[in-house]
Structure 1
Amino acid sequence: MNLLHVLILAIIEGITEYLPISSTGHMILGSSFMGIASDPFVKFFTVAIQLGAILSVVVLYFKRFFKSIDFYIKLFIAFIPSAIFGVLFSDAIDALLESPLGVAISLLVGGIILLFVDKWFTKAYIVDTDEVDYLTALKIGFFQCIAMVPGVSRSGATIVGGMSQRLSRKAAAEFSFFLAVPTMFAATAKKAYDYYKLGFVLNEEQIKLLAIGNVVAFIVAMLAIKFFIDFLTKYGFRLFGWYRIIVGGIILALLLAGYNLQIV
């Protein structure tokens, strides 16, 4: 893994983490196209640079994170389902991460859903995340579990979940951003532990690559969040739906044509 690989993957992470187009799916495909997906450090890197994306949310919404204890209680409640599912089905999730075909199908199905989601949820009465109660937070947390399937999109699943509970587009997106902080931090910590348990120790060069990746992901994610909130409020999900369908279709076409995208 070289510096160019780091920059490309960090930019992909920053752009896709908070957009409903699946950061995991794009990272799998990006590393696979570059021929580095089988490297254990690359697999760790694609998770570890989420810390940069996490920090972008904390910086942009700094006041929210120091507003009340109730804010953290809601995030904890919403985080519980994915924490339980993650522990129970970790092996199955890891197996799914190896499949570009699964990513392609998830992108296509999710894209079709996004074409219609604006019509399904038109009546929103929760316009601020402070109005989200504990039960609503828990329900959104269950939607987040769906995103354990690569290609689904964590942000997409939780935003749609929020809108199904009558949150406005903006409120659903912001709650999704907040929920990403404990979720992504836990995923990174688990991956670091797994990496250590296998006997791998980061060398000086790898630490440097991780630092660069996190800085780039942080900057790009901040820009992506600002763009997404404004775009989503004005135009909704259709463009993201068509994007997912096109990307998923291209991947399927490549696989059918015999192009080897399989991760080993």
Structure 2
Amino acid sequence: MLDVIKVIILGIVEGITEWLPVSSTGHLILVGDVLKPGVSTKFMELFDVVIQLGAILAVVVLYFHKLNPFAPAKTERQKLLTWQMWIKVLIASIPAGIVGVLFNDVLDQLFYKKIPVAIMLILYGALFIFIERKNQGKQPAVTKISGLTVPMLLWIGLFQMLALIPGTSRSGATIVGALLIGISRSVAAEFTFFLAIPAMAGASLVKLLKFGLHFTGKELGLLFLGCLVSFGVSIVAIRFLMKYIKKHDFQVFGYYRIVLGGLVLIAGVIQLIAG
């Protein structure tokens, strides 16, 4: 029963932090150290990635019509625009896809530690505050996904690639990259959601292949429960973010990241002293 409660809490953390630009890794480091279920470390490494499938499903459900190029209610032009949007998602996914396949394990070994994660949390928090203040009073150059050009897509893809460093936050990095080149907050957030589908599905597939399908009944149950909770909470988190940014900017998330980074840094220093 205790493991079930822990997995529910981890699912809630994932569902909230995967979409808000605050770094799910940073939160899972703090929460996961305290609430690690009674399973192997290898399984928990898989769990932390595959639980994202629930979050992906939330995007698919919420944006199913927009994502579906075969929707009967769409005109031929709308279907064409949907296909073009998917092509843009794939183009923007190229940098992270290449680097992720080649170096993801190396990056995790180098940077999946409290102090590097804390530094990335604070750095991108400061970037959010700086960019939002710099953009105050300016009109965004791009207010629709259809307005994204190939150079813009590759730029956003570069920032998604940088998010392979733990603590950066995939959504945080891509939103920062988009805001830097004049893309509106709503387009930046929405396109980030769509980018997550191939990125997170691919990462989950790689982890599953490495782990194999030799789950115990308990592990399978915990994995399913984590995905289910992550799905439900992600629905709420995505709706909240899209409603929030209609009237507010991302500065609050910047300040939050700096505070969280400070907490992770303190935890890292304590760990070094104790070790």
* TM superposition score normalised by structure 2: 0.88
Q: Equivalents in 1 of 2:274, 2:25: separation in Å?
A: 15
- Please say which of residues 173-182 and 32-41 is displaced more in the overlay: 32-41
Q: Does residue 165 of structure 2 align to residue 163 of structure 1?
A: no
Percent identity, aligned pairs only, is: 41
Seen in structure 2, the aligned counterparts of structure 1 residues 109 and 19 have a Cα distance that, compared at 3 Å, is same
* Kept in 2: contact 1:255–1:261 (CA 8 A): no
Distance 1:40-1:170 versus aligned 2 partners, 3 A rule: same
1:102 partnered with 2:116 = yes
Shift of 1:103: 1.1
Q: Does structure 1 retain, via aligned residues, the 8 Å contact 2:142–2:182?
A: yes
Instruction: Measure, in 2, the Cα distance between the counterparts of 1:211 and 1:22.
Output: 22
Which of 221, 232, 243 is the equivalent residue of 1:208?
Answer: 221
| Structure 2 runs not aligned, ≥5 long | 70-81
Aligned residue in 2 for 1:41? 43
1:243-262 equivalences under 5 Å are 243-258=256-271
Indicate the residue corresponding to 2:72 in structure 1: none
Picking from 138, 148, 168, the partner of 1:132 is: 148
- The range that moved more, 100-109 or 129-138, is 129-138
1:171-210 correspondence to structure 2 within 5 Å: 171-196=187-212, 201-210=214-223
Give, as a single letter, the amino acid of the residue that structure 2 aligns with 1:138: L
AA aligned opposite 1:45 = F
Counterpart residue type for residue 59 of structure 2: V
Q: Is the 8 A contact 1:77 1:137 kept in 2?
A: yes
Q: Helix, strand or coil: the match of 1:85?
A: helix
Distance 1:132 1:157, change over 3 A: same
Offset of residue 259 of structure 1: 7.3
Q: 1:62 aligns with which of 61, 64, 71?
A: 64
Alignment equivalent of 2:54, drawn from 52, 60, 65: 52
User: Given the alignment of the two structures, is residue 240 of structure 1 paired with residue 253 of structure 2, yes or no?
Assistant: yes
Letter in 2 for 1:240: F
| Distance in 2, Cα, partners of 1:191 & 1:260 | 33
Cα–Cα, structure 1 residues 85 and 188, in superposed 2: closer, same or farther, change >3 Å? same
**1:97 Cα offset (Å):** 5.3
1:206-258 C-alpha deviation (Å, 9 max, x unpaired): 11111111111001001001111121231211111111111111222233345
CA distance in 2, matches of 1:85, 1:259: 30
Aligned pair count reads 259
In structure 2, C-alpha distance between the alignment counterparts of 1:210 and 1:3, rounded to whole Å? 10
Q: What is the TM-score with the length of structure 1 in the denominator?
A: 0.91
Stretch of structure 1 that moved more, 24-33 or 237-246: 24-33
Q: What is the CA distance between 1:131 and its match in structure 2? A: 2.1
> Compared with structure 1, are the counterparts of its residues 97 and 35 closer, same or farther at alpha carbon in structure 2 (3 Å cutoff)?
farther
2: distance between equivalents of 1:141 and 1:190? 20
Deviations 1:26-51 (A, max 9, x none): 22332123355971111111100100
Q: Which amino acid aligns with 2:236?
A: L
- Code of the residue aligned with 2:198 in structure 1: it is P
Q: Distance in 1 between matches of 2:66 and 2:3?
A: 37
